[in-house]
């Protein structure tokens, strides 16, 4: 996939993790990423693997699955996945497999930490956005499955 920076910046702007970042800050995020092309049915990471990368899906679909529950989510265009492991430093809680060929950006743990250490505004906004996302996820889980808290 050949894309220009403006296309990538527009895509990053749609992603909740980067909400409220300026175009210049989004460029900083972009330059910390590496483009990656994935073929259909490729394992991106497995449940239990170390969490060394976050992914930004530009096109395609990725199935997120656990051994216990099977498929739990489908990642679609302009979504991120894998970021929680970078923050918590826990192993992967699920497996990610491409459902079709995908174009994505990958940010390594090193680049993620460098971004957080060298740009306090980006760091603060990202942490706020991750906290908001996790809070919304917990609320959704509690509404759909009241036993969720007791099981975990």
pTM: 0.82
Could you give the angle at which helices 120-144 and 109-118 cross, rounded to 10 degrees?
A: 120
CATH number at residue 103: 2.60.120.10
Domain span holding position 97 = 5-151
Q: How many helices (H) and strands (E) does the chain have?
A: 6, 8
- pLDDT band at residue 3 under the 50/70/90 scheme: very low
Is the predicted pLDDT of residue 151 greater than 70, yes or no? Answer: no
Q: How far is CA 76 from CA 100, 103, 113, 126, 148, in A?
A: 11, 11, 25, 20, 25
Say if residue 2's pLDDT is above 50.
no
- Share the mean pLDDT of the chain: 87
Number of domains in the chain: 1
- What span, in angstroms and rounded, lies between the C-alpha atoms of 56 and 117? 21
- Using 50, 70 and 90 to split pLDDT, how confident is the model at 152? very low
- 32-85 tens-digit pLDDT: 999 999 999 999 999 999 999 999 999 999 999 999 999 989 999 989 999 888
């Amino acid at each position: 996939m050949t894309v220009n920076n403006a296309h990538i910046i527009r895509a990053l702007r749609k992603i909740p993790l980067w909400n409220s970042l300026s175009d210049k800050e989004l460029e900083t995020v972009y330059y910390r990423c590496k483009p990656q092309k994935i073929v259909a049915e490729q394992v991106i990471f497995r449940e239990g693997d170390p969490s060394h990368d976050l992914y930004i899906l530009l096109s395609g679909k990725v199935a997120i699955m656990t051994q216990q529950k099977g498929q739990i989510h489908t990642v679609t265009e302009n979504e991120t996945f894998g970021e929680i492991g970078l923050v918590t430093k826990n192993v992967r809680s699920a497996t990610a497999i491409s459902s079709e060929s995908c174009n994505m950006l990958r940010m390594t743990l090193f680049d993620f930490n460098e971004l957080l250490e060298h740009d306090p505004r980006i760091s603060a906004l990202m942490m706020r956005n991750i906290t908001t996302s996790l809070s919304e996820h917990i609320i959704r889980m509690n509404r759909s499955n009241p036993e969720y808290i007791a099981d975990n």
